[in-house]
């Protein structure tokens, strides 16, 4: 009689152990899933836009010059990013499938309307073709310059893996501040006033 009862008990224990092991595995895998914060999209490798991985840290680029990489205007002309200096500059790295990028674009458009004669704004699109980038930006009210970096040379050169990212650049072309994640209009104004002394 004891042997008959032991078999169901062993079966129950085996099922319970198997379920516990599966639950533990699922929980451990949960720590490794892609993470998208409310105000930023993270990618595991600069220049790559799939499968976010480990949490990236902000690159130490304050004090560096803008990289001398070739980007394109919407009409296909080549422009050197490093040659955009001459006045305070706000460079916003974005792409249309980045939800936080979409969230902040109207705020950037508003601040540009308010102080665009004092600070040059550049939207640097890292993924989209010219038609999509322009349409997406204009729908958000953006009236400032849009440049394209389809090979993601800028994000690779600066080791940037979180988007949107905004660079604040002084008149000599040196990066004086880096912000990763979406900015509100008030936050953007405050950073411009503090870092670019406008």
Q: What is the pLDDT of residue 59?
A: 77
- In this structure, what token pair is assigned to residue 135? 């349409």
Could you tell me which of 146, 181, 142 has the C-alpha nearest to residue 160? 181
- In this structure, what token pair is assigned to residue 143? 């009236």
Q: Does residue 60 contact residue 158 with C-beta atoms inside 8 Å?
A: no
Torsion, Cα 53 57 63 67, to 10 degrees, reads 0
Q: Does residue 181 contact residue 72 with C-beta atoms inside 8 Å?
A: no
Q: What is the pLDDT of residue 197?
A: 75
The verdict on pTM exceeding 0.85 is no
Mean of all residue pLDDT scores within the chain? 82
Half-sphere exposure of 174 (CA within 13 A, CB side): 7
On the question of pLDDT at 56 being above 60, the answer is no
**Cα-Cα-Cα-Cα dihedral sign, residues 176, 148, 40, 52:** negative
**How far apart are alpha carbons 161 and 152 in whole angstroms?**
11
pLDDT digits (tens, 9 = 90+) for 4-16: 455 555 544 454 4
Q: What is the pLDDT of residue 18?
A: 47
On the question of pLDDT at 159 being above 60, the answer is yes
Q: What is the pLDDT of residue 149?
A: 97
On the question of pLDDT at 186 being above 90, the answer is yes
- In this structure, what token pair is assigned to residue 103? 């969230």
Could you count the other beta carbons within 10 Å of the beta carbon of residue 57?
A: 10
Q: Could you tell me which residue, 66 or 26, shows the higher pLDDT? A: 66
Q: Could you tell me which residue, 89 or 10, shows the higher pLDDT? A: 89
Q: What is the pLDDT of residue 22?
A: 39
Q: What is the pLDDT of residue 47?
A: 56
């Amino acid at each position: 009689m004891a042997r008959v009862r032991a078999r169901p008990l062993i079966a129950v224990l085996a099922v319970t152990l198997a379920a516990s092991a599966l639950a533990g595995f699922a929980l451990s895998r949960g720590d490794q899933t892609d993470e998208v914060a409310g105000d930023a999209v993270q990618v595991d490798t600069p220049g790559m836009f799939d499968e976010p991985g480990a949490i990236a840290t902000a690159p130490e680029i304050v004090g560096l010059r803008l990289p001398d990489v070739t980007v394109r205007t919407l009409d296909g002309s080549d422009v050197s990013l490093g040659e955009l200096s001459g006045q305070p500059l706000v460079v916003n790295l974005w792409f249309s499938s980045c939800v936080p990028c979409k969230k902040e674009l109207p705020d950037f458009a508003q601040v540009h309307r308010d102080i665009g004669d004092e600070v040059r704004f550049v939207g640097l699109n890292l993924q989209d073709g010219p038609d999509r980038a322009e349409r997406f930006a204009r729908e958000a009210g953006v009236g400032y310059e849009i440049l394209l970096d389809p090979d993601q040379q800028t994000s690779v050169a600066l080791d940037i893996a979180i988007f949107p990212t905004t660079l604040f650049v002084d008149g000599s072309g040196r990066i004086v501040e880096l912000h990763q994640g979406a900015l509100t209009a008030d936050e953007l104004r405050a950073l411009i006033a503090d870092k670019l002394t406008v």
